[in-house]
């Protein structure tokens, strides 16, 4: 008897109903019954199993899925892990609940004095919104935003002379901490060059000479988050017809004011388990309407209805989401040569 291990979302995908990414990239269950999950043989699933097998080729041909043949134990495994080939791209937006990650429009501040906590070891910034590379996501998501620390005008080395406490949760009252490895002499003057957050804008656009094909887009938001500002996804254009400036046509994007809006827009919500510094579960919300869109570089006229030059994700009024540990958008895509 052949078994298929997958989750219910993948099974429905085979019927053309839903696309959904499992956090660990491997679908391991085929059906759910309340809070319990169980495996089912093809005979148990009857006609639905036949639909699954009939759509085998459709599944194996989809770029976002890998289909493994059955193992020695007779079990077929289905995975929707993104195929990161040499041109694969994964880009992660700024964290909409932590202004220290808002790197795109951050402004440089120089020779800013730090505040001694009183022990000449721990120092604080005057600004709560210091942006550093510690808070920027990887895989082409951010431009460098260095943080330099000086004592008496002499540049110091991170991890040798000092550490930045980037693990401290962000709050509106929180100042970033710099902790020196040794107590500084009396009357030491500690200054810094850093970038300060201005807006929450994150813009997805390809490098010059390339185009991006969006495979999958999703939001990750902590359970219990308070949406005190609207989240927007805005396709934009930038080529000769717009004067080679960024232009976002009204009514072309999506805006979320409330949790209800997410539920109304997304047919499925996946819940991820906390790990590391995360202490509460987080919701994974697929942005399915963006799947398959093409993103051309600035200056090149988009070709086709579902294409544009940039995709902006932002908070409408730049008010961070509160009571929240993570609020990001992830774009799974490929970057290909522009023909």
pTM, two decimals, is 0.70
Which CA distances in Å does 192 have to 32, 126, 129, 183, 208?
54, 11, 14, 18, 33
Distance CA 81, CA 67 (A): 10
With the CA atoms of 193, 199, 201 and 206 taken in that order, what torsion angle do they form, in degrees rounded to the nearest 10? Answer: -30
Per-residue pLDDT, averaged over 55-76, amounts to 37
pLDDT band at 18 (very low <50, low <70, confident <90, very high): very low
pLDDT of residue 285: 84
Per-residue pLDDT, averaged over 245-261, amounts to 88
Per-residue pLDDT, averaged over 56-70, amounts to 34
pLDDT of residue 268: 67
Query: Could you tell me what percent of the chain has a pLDDT over 70?
Result: 68
Per-residue pLDDT, averaged over 226-246, amounts to 94
Tell me the three state secondary structure of residue 45. helix
Decide which of 16 and 111 is more confident.
Answer: 111
Choose the weakest-confidence range: 16-30, 265-279, 324-338.
16-30
Phi, psi of 289 (to 5 degrees): -70, -20
Give the HSE-up count for residue 278: Cα atoms under 13 Å, Cβ half-sphere.
17
Q: Evaluate whether 88 touches 334 at the Cβ level (below 8 Å).
A: yes
Q: Evaluate whether 332 touches 62 at the Cβ level (below 8 Å).
A: no
């Amino acid at each position: 008897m052949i078994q298929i291990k997958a989750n219910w979302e993948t099974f429905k995908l085979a019927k053309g109903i839903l696309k959904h990414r499992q956090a660990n990239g491997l679908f391991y269950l085929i059906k759910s019954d309340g809070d319990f999950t169980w495996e089912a043989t093809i005979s148990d699933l009857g006609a639905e199993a036949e639909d699954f097998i009939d759509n085998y080729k459709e599944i194996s041909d989809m770029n976002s899925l890998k289909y493994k043949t059955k193992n020695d134990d007779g079990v077929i495994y289905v995975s929707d892990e993104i195929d990161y080939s040499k041109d694969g791209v994964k880009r992660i937006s700024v964290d909409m609940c932590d202004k220290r990650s808002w790197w795109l429009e951050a402004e440089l501040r120089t020779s800013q004095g730090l505040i001694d906590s009183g022990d000449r070891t721990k120092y604080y910034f005057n600004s709560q919104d210091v942006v550093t590379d510690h808070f920027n996501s990887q895989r082409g998501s951010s431009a460098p935003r260095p943080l330099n620390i000086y004592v008496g005008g002499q540049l110091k080395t991170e991890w040798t002379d000092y550490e930045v406490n980037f693990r401290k949760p962000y709050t509106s009252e929180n100042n970033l901490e710099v902790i020196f490895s040794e107590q500084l002499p009396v009357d030491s003057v500690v200054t810094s060059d850093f970038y300060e957050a201005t807006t929450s804008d994150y813009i997805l656009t390809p490098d010059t000479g390339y185009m991006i094909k969006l495979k999958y887009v999703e939001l990750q938001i902590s359970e219990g988050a308070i949406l005190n500002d609207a989240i927007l996804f805005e396709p934009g254009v930038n080529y000769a017809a717009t004067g080679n400036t960024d232009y976002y046509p009204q009514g072309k994007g999506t805006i979320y004011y409330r949790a209800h809006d997410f539920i109304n827009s997304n047919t499925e919500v996946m819940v991820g388990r906390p790990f590391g510094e995360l202490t509460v579960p987080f919701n994974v919300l697929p942005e399915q309407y963006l799947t398959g869109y093409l993103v051309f570089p600035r200056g090149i006229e988009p070709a086709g209805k579902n294409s544009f030059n940039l995709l902006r994700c932002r908070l409408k009024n730049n008010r961070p989401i509160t009571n929240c540990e993570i609020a990001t958008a992830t774009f799974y895509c490929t970057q290909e040569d522009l023909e």
